[in-house]
Amino acid sequence: MVPSRRRRRPWRRTRAYRLARTAVLTVVLVTMGVRCEGHRHHGAPERAAGPQAAATATASTDAEGGGPDGAGSGGAGPDGERSGSPGDAAPTTPPPRPLPRSPATSLRIPSLGVDAPVIGIGLDTDRQLQTPPVDKPKLVGWYRGGPAPGESGTALAVGHRDTKTGAAVFAALGQVAPGRHIEVRRADGRTAVYTVDKVRVFDKARFPDKEVYGPARRPELHVITCGGLYTRRTGYSSNVVVFAHLTSTK
């Protein structure tokens, strides 16, 4: 008697096929999960800044990190937009209109208890950003060559962290938290209110001129002081920079 030939299983019912199908589905699901997570944390585009002249500060009580002059293109991008259909988007407050030019007279950081008068500053002979006089540690310097409070562009404010006589106006600047306000009163009686976006500490040897001094389309304020380690020979090793943008005027 001739033995009957065993019938072969359809290929879709084989164990090898089932294992391969499971592996493919797992890869697809993991890939989708990574993409969704990345989209959920997508932020605003980084601001493009024009080229700047490199400069490094060396004075122990100076807050400069390099010259703010230099032409460039680009500007600050808008805040990141929520994804989804227009009907699902949360209502957003329109940005305030930039203010006309008027000099700064005082600067307040309520969360730090800072309320200081402002003087105009420029560039020294090495084209580095000047600072307020060392014998007047409670003053804030506002760069006259840049925007006034509330004007479009990158405004710069500088102050000492400390002097030989003790703490100065920006001794606690590095402790200001994102979301806090910086209020700058103007000569015309109006006040530009900036909201802190981030606080960074940069080594003076690698100070990012483009990021700190680069132009911006919206009104921004970058507040600078010293930070890092201190030695009598070289002064402070770093700069503390607070990045903020205009959110209201009054």
- Percent of the chain past pLDDT 70, that is, above it, reads 64
pLDDT tens, 73-129? 333 333 333 334 444 455 577 889 999 999 999 999 999 999 999 999 999 888 888
What's the mean pLDDT in 187-210? 94
Instruction: Yes or no: say if 184 and 106 are a contact pair by the CB < 8 Å rule.
Output: yes
Q: Which pLDDT band, with edges at 50, 70 and 90, does 51 fall under?
A: very low
Domain at 16-70+97-250, CATH from 2.40.260.10, 3.30.420.340, 3.30.43.10, 3.40.50.2300: 2.40.260.10
Q: CA Rg, the chain, in Å?
A: 27
Main-chain phi, psi angles of 237, to 5 degrees: -85, -15
Residue of higher predicted confidence among 11 and 239: 239
In angstroms, the CA 149 to CA 155 distance is: 7
Domain extents in the chain: 16-70+97-250
| 246 has pLDDT over 50 | yes
pLDDT of residue 125: 87
Q: pLDDT grade, residue 232 (50/70/90)?
A: confident
Question: pLDDT tens, 175-195?
Answer: 999 999 999 999 999 999 999
- Please tell me what DSSP assigns to residue 178: T
Distance in angstroms (rounded) separating the CA atoms of residues 71 and 39: 35
Mean pLDDT of 199-219: 92
Mean pLDDT lowest among 7-21, 41-55, 233-247? 41-55
Task: Dump pLDDT digits (tens) for 165-176.
Answer: 889 999 999 999
Tell me phi and psi for residue 35, to 5 degrees: -65, -45
Q: Do 50 and 214 touch, CB atoms closer than 8 A?
A: yes
Q: Are strands 114-121 and 140-143 parallel, antiparallel or unpaired?
A: parallel
Mean pLDDT within 193-203:
96
